Structure 1
Amino acid sequence: MLVTLIAAARGTGLLDTRFGDDRPLDAAGWHAVERALPALAPLAAAELRYCSPSPCARQTGDVLGLAPLAQPALRDCDMGRWHGMTLQEVTLREPAAVNAWLTDPRTAPHGGEPLVSFVGRVGGWLDTRPEVADGRVVAVTEPSVIRAAMLYALKAPPHAYWRTEVHPLSVISFSGGDGRWNLRLG
């Protein structure tokens, strides 16, 4: 099976990115997807097409012609009381809590989901994809979800999450299945 994940276009600037950002795409995001459409349109031929429940992922998938089905397991990490805040805002208010969150993947000082649970949830979604005739599945989701999938596939330690970057409209594929995934770049 081949599962291809596409990072949703960004609806805001990087410095204005908020935990659990549920704002729709802005004009720049729409234009970015439209520019990427020629390269990404062939992915719409996949038999199964999904997206996270976020407006940015849904809109990115729609522009790409995927008509994706929302999957709750592909939602961003639950950031609890930090939802809607930027990292800078949280760091100013709760520096010790941010430090704990960045250094211990089993903690959730924000009251939401610990990093290890997030990675496990995303990995569980990968492992439970149904077999399809053409063997292809595509999903549009947040970059954080793709980072979690990469850690799961590579069986990398949780701290590696903070050392990976996924840019908007990046495409990462995973081949294999049932807990034995290979990362395919390009």
Structure 2
Amino acid sequence: MHLRVTFVAAARSSSLLAERFEDDRPLDQAGWYEVQRVAGGLVPLAAAELRYCSPTPRSRATGNALGYAPLVQPALRDCDMGRWRGFTLGEAMAREPSAVDAWISDPRSAPHGGESLLSFISRVGGWLDTRPVDDGGRVVAVAEPSVMRAALVYALNVQPSAYWNIDVPPLSTLTLAGRGGHWNLRLETAPAA
């Protein structure tokens, strides 16, 4: 039996330029508006047998606003950014430019004292691989965009550097189908209007 895991990117809590590492801010007004605007297309995912979310306030709020009543999954937390937690990329670059360069160029590097990109991808992949196929065929998980990028890199078994080339807009979806260690990207057709 195969499992279908659909990730939904959490709604925004700030503008893209103000995004912070391990951002714990709740949804802002724009985020709430976005959820209401697209809810019709995402609410049907609540029919999934299992519903999860990242532990961030915006992931929980997004899942609840969509009627998922998701269970928080610590393994779906954002990458541990150590001393850069709460910084924007620009702030980290201004304080430690060579450390940021090392972190971006070497997936095993963790100059911030937190988790390396490779460890983060492996953690998210481990969560995917341990989803019990017999507990249900469909899973929905509201997560931070970074978690979705990590899941995609893991599932497609591509170089970790591909992580930096994936854009995940708020409230976008990603569906992976398969089972532990064998995942495929599943592109969905848009429902007829």
- TM-score of the superposed pair, with normalisation by structure 2: 0.95
- TM superposition outliers: structure 1 runs of 4+ over 2 Å: 131-134
Point out where structure 2 has 5 or more consecutive residues left out of the alignment.
189-193
Alpha-carbon distance between aligned partners in 2 of 1:25 and 1:132, rounded to the nearest angstrom: 34
2:149 aligned residue: 147
Tell me the residue number matched to 1:41.
43
- Residues 16-165 of structure 1: pairs in structure 2 closer than 5 A: 16-132=18-134, 134-165=136-167
The number of residues matched between the two structures is: 186
What per-residue deviation string (whole Å, max 9, x for no partner) do you get for residues 48-71 of structure 1?
000000000000000000000000
Letter in 2 for 1:183: L
Where does structure 1 lack aligned partners over 5 or more consecutive residues? none
Q: Is the 8 A contact 2:50 2:136 kept in 1?
A: no
Distance 1:31 1:130 in 2: 34
The code of the aligned residue for 1:116 comes to L
Q: 1:185 aligns with which of 178, 184, 187?
A: 187
Tell me how far 1:130 sits from its aligned partner: 1.5
* Percent identical: 64
Q: Deviations over 1:130-159 (max 9, x none)?
A: 224640000000000000000001000011
Amino acid aligned to 1:138: V
What is the alpha-carbon distance in structure 2 between the residues aligned to residue 20 and residue 13 of structure 1?
A: 15
**SS in structure 2 of the partner of residue 84 of structure 1:** coil
Length-normalised TM-score, structure 1: 0.98
1:93-142 superposed Cα distances (whole Å, 9 cap, x missing partner)? 10000000010000100000000000000000000012246400000000
2:53 and 2:142 in contact (8 A); partners too:
yes
Asked whether the 8 Å contact 1:47–1:132 carries over to 2, the reply is no
CA distance in 2, matches of 1:84, 1:141: 18
Q: What is the deviation of 1:81?
A: 0.2
